[in-house]
Structure 1
Amino acid sequence: MLGAVAVVVAGALIAPKFIGQNVHQQVQEQVAKLNEQAGYQASIKQWQQGWFSTQAQIDVHFDMAELDPTSAQELPEFPPLNIQLDIQHGPVLLSSQGLLGLASWQADISGEALRKNLTWTDDLPLYRLSGLTGLFGGHRFTDQIPAFSAAPQPGTTFTFSGYQGSGEIGQSHIQYAGHAASLSGNKGDERRLTVKDLRIQMDADVDMATMMEGGFYDSQAHVGVGEMQLTIPGTASKQAELKGLAINMTTKRNAEKGTGEMLVAYLADAVDVGEYQASELALEVQLQNLNEDVLIEYQQMAKSGSFADPEAMLDYVEEILPILLQDNPALNLSKISVTLPKGKINGYINSQVVNVEDMDGSEWTYKEFWLAHVAVDAKIDADREALLFIAEQHMLKQMQPAIAAGQLDEAQAKQMAQQQAPQMLDMLMQQGLMVETQEGLQSTFTLKDGEGLLNGEPVPLPL
């Protein structure tokens, strides 16, 4: 019995030394990976390793010319980041996230250089990431940004409530969730912005190494804002309110075909801008059948800065396009939807490359290639009253110069728009652009084998 206890105690005392050596190797590998990215230069400036703990300082510099060559001169110069790293070696830990593990760690970015512009609690860093690495390699972590405020000039203020997040990284699964209560900025009485209830969520069936490669994997991500209010100079009401804003992204991988797909949905529960109101807004952008090897290679070249030369980018496109198109990629606006006070509009526009087998490198530069190898299917359904409203607003916009010159007043312009809007819809139907249905008005378009059909009737293509 005493012998077993002695072995356990000895293991708890000796193991931290070996864990510390492994920590050093892991940090060096991560710094090396960061240096492989274009625009980043990272180095370990200090390293103090003891038996039970390690302290380090890592400096990260940014080269904006490599990150974004086209707009590097317009971007402000970013100060280098100084990361203070504090690691406790396991297996026995005194951590708020657990008592057993390989290591507990905390990375702080002090942000002291920003205190001349921002104000936050003295004893907190601007960003803190802390976590625990389990005995079998998984990670649990939290991150936080403290509440801060700024007054860059008289009459201008900016406040942020702070941000808290947490997540887990497993062998084949990553999840994360973060929240900030509010953000607001004022510039006198002219410009105001308030954002409430910012949320970030991510759930992915992937390991960290695969994610860093940039390939496809099954995942769901969400960025949402509960409410946003802002002023819009030059408008009658000068006030806009948006509720339930969200960007939802889903990715899927087809391992058998070596392809992947991505769906990005832009959503809003309600939008109120002066006289204009809308609800249930949705725009879904879908990419399908994307070659995974091409995507990984593209991202690696982009990270290395290989596309700083536009000619190099064009040469690469000509090289990989035949491979990319053979998988029949698709670009779809899979959902277009909005509800107006007087009706709904919804539809879709789907397009896909088809029947590409052997392709000459220059074929894609000719319109005949795309006519032969692109299929399109599109449909828009709309309530008549909703289209009348849009037509009225279009006409009012055209009349704005006359209103501004005093040739028309607002009441006259609105009356004329209401009278002419039905005529505009009738003209669209006479031209065959729209047809009447039991529910309202509809427009369909298909393109196949180079032939276009508009509402079932052949139509010459404007190419």
Structure 2
Amino acid sequence: MKKILAVLVFALVAACLVAPKFIAPKHQAKVVELVSNINKAPGYHAAIVTTHSAWFGSENKVQVSFDTTHIDPTIQGGKIEAELIVDTHFGPLLFSKQGVFGWFESTIRLDGEKQRAILLWDENQPLYALSVLSDVTGNIYLADNIPALSNAANTFQFSGYTGQGDITKTGINYQGVLDQLDIVDGYTPVKASGFSLSIELDADLATIMKGGFYDSTTDLSLEQLDIGTDATFSGLNMEMGSSLDKDAQLGSIGLAYLIKDVVYGDFQASDLTLVTELNKLSNQFFIDYKNVSDMLLNDAPVSDDTYAALFDFMQEHLDELLAAKPEFNITDFSGSFPNGRFKATLTSTLADIDTPTMEELSTPEFWLYNMIVNANIEADQALLHSLAEQFVASKIYAPADAPEVKMQTQMIIDGLIQQGLITSEEDQYKSEIHIEDGQGKIYDTEFPLM
């Protein structure tokens, strides 16, 4: 039994000693592949400057730059450069915070020596560090951080950022947090606290890089934002999502904003919500557009010729983009004020039309005559009266609670009801709007839009 145990221990030790020699070339190939992928991105250039290899690890210095003329050709001297150090330990034994076993663990860091001229942070830490661990099944585990930062004048305070995530064959997940950011330079100090980021992409890297649609959710939230001494926003949230109908090959994009509470001087509001969506978007159109865009931008910086080529592509493929009649909807636009609450929704889709030109799409008249729109609005009576009183008061230069203001406000609202533009139901006012063929209609009252 002791001999068997000794043989097993010897085999394990031998494997741990020999395995790094097999892992090293595969890891270096990954680094070369990463550099190659960076070079494929428009405006980016990367090159391995030096490579130092040892039995249990390696170090690569990678020079990365971005030419900002790919965004704006008028920018002078806009090249941004950074040197990244990729420090790697080979498995199978890693003893990392992210796992004990794996093929390798790499730490990618930006030391940021140039940035120390304007920012202060722990001299023993890099400006940015990303830890990447590959386990024995091929999954990637990530952890990154930015240390606490400040400046010499102490007008900028950054509490530090930490994040973690994973990349598997089926998707990418990532979460990051930032406790606090303070900027007190100038007349309007800004303080942000409780920032968090969450990303869930239900697709593999190959699908993501194609540029089409897939199921995803990105959530940004901020517990509180103070601007100056009289503006406070709390419970801020922005959520972006996408999805793909695999059978129809049509994608959707959703964007939602939420502010739990707002105080700005005497103004107060809560539960402010705006939720929008774009539906029935051709997946193949966006894949083809990314391929053409990448090809053009890899060949040369952004220029008039680049825009012209992209313009021609869009014109040639507009029928593909519009065939499914894309929709733009506002599923929730609402909020509460001290005097009441309002809520509105909107749906819109393209009518049956021939393929337009890009010039036609750029004119408001095209959308007025070729979109079918339905909107519903409702507001508490007390809120509408309050808003109308403020409007009337500003026009006649009188206090909002003046008798003449209240009288004119009531006359305006009664007139809207008599014209059939709003209805009164219990404690609410409501309105329904329909737009089609360049004509608008509020309930039964029709009117031209142009």
Which TM-score applies when normalising by structure 2?
A: 0.89
Q: Which moved more, 1:363-372 or 1:336-345?
A: 363-372
Size of the aligned set, in residue pairs, is 438
Alpha-carbon spacing, 1:13–1:139, altered in 2? closer, same or farther (3 Å): same
Alpha-carbon spacing, 1:420–1:360, altered in 2? closer, same or farther (3 Å): closer
Q: In structure 2, what is the equivalent of residue 345 of structure 1?
A: 342
Q: In structure 2, what is the equivalent of residue 258 of structure 1?
A: 249
Q: In structure 1, what is the equivalent of residue 208 of structure 2?
A: 211
Alpha-carbon spacing, 1:112–1:368, altered in 2? closer, same or farther (3 Å): closer
- Residue 414 of structure 2, aligned match among 417, 426, 440: 426
User: Aligned partners of 1:174 and 1:106: how far apart in 2?
Assistant: 19
Q: In structure 1, what is the equivalent of residue 444 of structure 2?
A: 457
User: Aligned partners of 1:437 and 1:72: how far apart in 2?
Assistant: 58
Report deviation, 1:372.
6.7
Q: In structure 2, what is the equivalent of residue 115 of structure 1?
A: 116
Alpha-carbon spacing, 1:6–1:35, altered in 2? closer, same or farther (3 Å): same
Report deviation, 1:360.
6.1
Alpha-carbon spacing, 1:259–1:101, altered in 2? closer, same or farther (3 Å): same
- Residue 21 of structure 2, aligned match among 2, 17, 21: 17
Q: Where does 1:66-81 land on structure 2 (aligned, <5 Å)? A: 66-69=70-73, 72=75, 77=78, 79-81=80-82
Alpha-carbon spacing, 1:458–1:431, altered in 2? closer, same or farther (3 Å): closer
User: Is structure 2 residue 372 aligned with structure 1 residue 359?
Assistant: no
Contact in 1 for aligned 2:57/2:89 (Cα 8 Å): yes
1:462 partner amino acid: L
2:36 partner amino acid: A
Alpha-carbon spacing, 1:221–1:367, altered in 2? closer, same or farther (3 Å): closer
User: Aligned partners of 2:313 and 2:331: how far apart in 1?
Assistant: 29
| Partner secondary structure for residue 171 of structure 1 | coil
Cα deviation code 1:396-426 (max 9, x no counterpart): 5557xxxxxxxx6xx6476365554333333
User: Aligned partners of 2:236 and 2:295: how far apart in 1?
Assistant: 35
- Residue 326 of structure 1, aligned match among 314, 323, 336: 323
- Residue 60 of structure 2, aligned match among 28, 49, 56: 56
Contact in 2 for aligned 1:346/1:381 (Cα 8 Å): yes
Cα deviation code 1:294-322 (max 9, x no counterpart): 12233344445556434334323212211
- Residue 178 of structure 1, aligned match among 172, 176, 183: 176
Report deviation, 1:109.
0.8
| Partner secondary structure for residue 175 of structure 1 | strand
2:177 partner amino acid: H
Q: Which moved more, 1:240-249 or 1:302-311?
A: 302-311
Q: Where does 1:244-393 land on structure 2 (aligned, <5 Å)? A: 244-303=235-294, 306=297, 308-309=303-304, 310-355=307-352, 359=355, 361=357, 364-365=360-361, 373-393=370-390
Alpha-carbon spacing, 1:32–1:421, altered in 2? closer, same or farther (3 Å): farther
User: Aligned partners of 2:295 and 2:68: how far apart in 1?
Assistant: 13
Contact in 2 for aligned 1:36/1:304 (Cα 8 Å): no
The gaps in structure 2 that reach 5 residues or longer are none
The gaps in structure 1 that reach 5 residues or longer are 232-237, 400-407
Quick one: percent identity of the two aligned structures?
A: 30
User: Aligned partners of 2:251 and 2:127: how far apart in 1?
Assistant: 37
Q: In structure 2, what is the equivalent of residue 150 of structure 1?
A: 151
Report deviation, 1:283.
0.4
User: Is structure 2 residue 233 aligned with structure 1 residue 242?
Assistant: yes
Report deviation, 1:359.
3.1
| Partner secondary structure for residue 316 of structure 1 | helix
Alpha-carbon spacing, 1:150–1:427, altered in 2? closer, same or farther (3 Å): farther
Cα deviation code 1:307-344 (max 9, x no counterpart): 64343343232122111110221111111001111111
Contact in 1 for aligned 2:292/2:310 (Cα 8 Å): no
User: Aligned partners of 2:83 and 2:255: how far apart in 1?
Assistant: 35
Cα deviation code 1:184-221 (max 9, x no counterpart): 11135x21111110011112211223223222111222
1:100 partner amino acid: F
2:145 partner amino acid: Q
Alpha-carbon spacing, 1:61–1:362, altered in 2? closer, same or farther (3 Å): closer
Alpha-carbon spacing, 1:414–1:124, altered in 2? closer, same or farther (3 Å): farther
User: Aligned partners of 2:405 and 2:308: how far apart in 1?
Assistant: 50
User: Aligned partners of 1:181 and 1:383: how far apart in 2?
Assistant: 38
Q: In structure 1, what is the equivalent of residue 185 of structure 2?
A: 187
CA RMSD between the two structures: 2.6
Report deviation, 1:442.
1.2
Alpha-carbon spacing, 1:313–1:428, altered in 2? closer, same or farther (3 Å): farther
Report deviation, 1:37.
1.5
Q: Which moved more, 1:58-67 or 1:7-16?
A: 7-16
Which TM-score applies when normalising by structure 1?
A: 0.87
Alpha-carbon spacing, 1:335–1:302, altered in 2? closer, same or farther (3 Å): farther
| Partner secondary structure for residue 169 of structure 2 | coil
2:59 partner amino acid: Q
Q: In structure 2, what is the equivalent of residue 402 of structure 1?
A: none
User: Is structure 2 residue 409 aligned with structure 1 residue 443?
Assistant: no
User: Aligned partners of 1:221 and 1:288: how far apart in 2?
Assistant: 18
User: Aligned partners of 1:247 and 1:368: how far apart in 2?
Assistant: 32
2:26 partner amino acid: N
Contact in 2 for aligned 1:228/1:243 (Cα 8 Å): yes
Q: Which moved more, 1:302-311 or 1:275-284?
A: 302-311
User: Is structure 2 residue 42 aligned with structure 1 residue 41?
Assistant: no
- Residue 160 of structure 1, aligned match among 155, 158, 181: 158
Q: In structure 2, what is the equivalent of residue 234 of structure 1?
A: none
2:227 partner amino acid: L
| Partner secondary structure for residue 311 of structure 1 | helix
User: Aligned partners of 2:443 and 2:30: how far apart in 1?
Assistant: 63
